[in-house]
Structure 1
Amino acid sequence: MSKLKVLAWAGPVAALVWVVAVMVFGARLDGYDQLRHPISLLGARGVPGGELFSAVGFIVPGLLAALAMFDLVLRMPASAPRTLRVGGQMLLLACVAFAAMGLLPLDVDDIENRASQFHASAWLLWLVAFCAGAIALRMGAGKGSPWRSLATLAVVCAIWSACSAFLFQAAMPVAMAQRMAFLGWLVWLLGAWRLLPRR
């Protein structure tokens, strides 16, 4: 398999690794409820298997997603609008922020301390970079552009993630709203693999 094909598959693999990690580690942690507890708790300091989940559930998927977004940027022609390029770079930054959540885990003994605040900041950076990147990508994909379908998907997924993070939690448990936000990003990674313009 060529390096280009490996990059193209990085997004779907990232999504698969994340889903499997959440399901497996959630099932192994005594008392953990997928409907009530946040995903970040699986990787928190002081939680059995927390360090391993941080690596498998955040760092590995984040780096794989970053490879996928790097492939996206490499596919952009030299004549691509600057807004399109900025969008790709912001989407790449979102992946780095996702991986950073694993490097900056919550502290289960004190969710208000600095370590937990750093984790929350990484989560917010992920969401903001994802939304900003999607908007920029859409603005840079003019009518008739081969990037238009991809950019539209990015905006739809980003809107879903933002609404899940800030609006849906009023009608559902925060843990579920968080999962819905991550779902938007996973759909983006899977859809981007299908809609990427050819080199």
Structure 2
Amino acid sequence: MKQVTPHAGLLAAVLSIGAASMFAAGWEDYSHAAHPLGLLGAYGTPHALAFNLYGFVVPGLLAAWLGWRLRDAMQERGWMARIGAWLVLLSALAFAAQGMARLDPQDLEALSGRLHAASWMLWWIAFVPGALLLAFGAGPHAGRGLLGVVSAAAAIAVLALTIFAPAWMPIAIAHRIAFVCWFGWLTFAGYALAAKPRA
């Protein structure tokens, strides 16, 4: 297998979570419990371009690179694993796209805002079936036996947090926890891919 940097998922998580924490701290009226993450990169927001770069684009591209390596690793695992890896890659690109389609607080129905929302939806809609397919198709090979279990758990968690959890917790909190679950999966997948194969 081609060399893979095991820290890519962790680096993506640190960049995105760090950017969200740092840029929100500089905005007195911003609340992680009430406001969408994309508002930190909206038009008219101080340092919006920097947040979009470090909060969405770079982490998403790191995740996409990891997804590409995962696709390579799943070539011999059957169609479920291969399709799952492609969907995970698509999910990562959709995450990055959120930073390129900025919200407009004055007009949430503007084209860029609709594209941002569509990118967010594509992020989880691609990830959930992709991770589930990986869970069933990856197999217990190459020291990566837990990858399937962790993929299934992450898929179920992201689905529950994006669809069901907003009924009993603030939607902004639910979506942030979903992002954290995704980043946790990315981190695990990076190290799992780099694990030395076992016979």
Identity %, equivalent residues: 37
Q: Which residue of 2 aligns with 1:168?
A: 165
Question: Which letter does structure 2 place at the counterpart of 1:4?
Answer: Q
Aligned position for 1:33: 31
TM-score by length of 2: 0.90
Alignment root-mean-square deviation, CA: 1.7
2:3 maps to which residue? 4
1:36-75 matches, cutoff 5 A: 36-75=34-73
Q: Does the alignment pair 1:123 with 2:120?
A: yes
Q: CA deviation at 1:118?
A: 0.8
Q: Paired residue for 2:174?
A: 177
Matched letter for residue 25 of structure 1: F
Q: 1:198 to 1:133 in 2, by over 3 A?
A: farther
Q: Retained in 2: the 8 A contact 1:46–1:109? A: no
- TM-score under structure 1 normalisation? 0.90
Distance in 2 (alpha carbons) for counterparts of 1:171 and 1:16: 28
Q: Could you tell me how far 1:54 is from its partner in structure 2?
A: 0.8
**Counterpart selection for 1:193 from 179, 190, 193:** 190
Paired residue for 1:107? 104
User: Over residues 118-146 of structure 1, what are the superposed CA-to-partner deviations in whole Å (9 max), with x where a residue is unaligned?
Assistant: 1000000000111011111122134x444
Q: Is the 8 A contact 1:18 1:58 kept in 2?
A: yes
What does the per-residue CA deviation read over 1:12-59, in whole Å, with 9 as the maximum and x for residues that have no partner? Answer: 100111111000001012311122211111011121111211111000
Give deviations 1:70-89, integer Å, cap 9, x for gaps: 2222223x532021111111
Unaligned residue ranges in structure 2 (runs of 5+): none
- Partner residue in 1 for 2:132: 135
Distance 2:10 2:107 in 1: 34
Q: Report deviation, 1:113.
A: 2.2
Given that 2:92 and 2:123 are in contact with CA atoms closer than 8 Å, whether structure 1 keeps it comes out as yes
- CA–CA separation in structure 2 for the residues paired with 1:40 and 1:71: 28
2:8–2:187 Cα contact (<8 Å) kept: no
Unmatched runs of 5 consecutive residues or more in structure 1: none
How far residue 151 of structure 1 moved from its aligned partner, in angstroms, is: 1.9
Higher relative helix content: 1
Contact 2:6 2:191 in 1 (8 A): no
Structure with more contact order per residue of length (Cα contacts < 8 Å, sep ≥ 6): 2
Aligned residues: 194
Contact 2:24–2:30 (8 Å) recurs in 1: yes
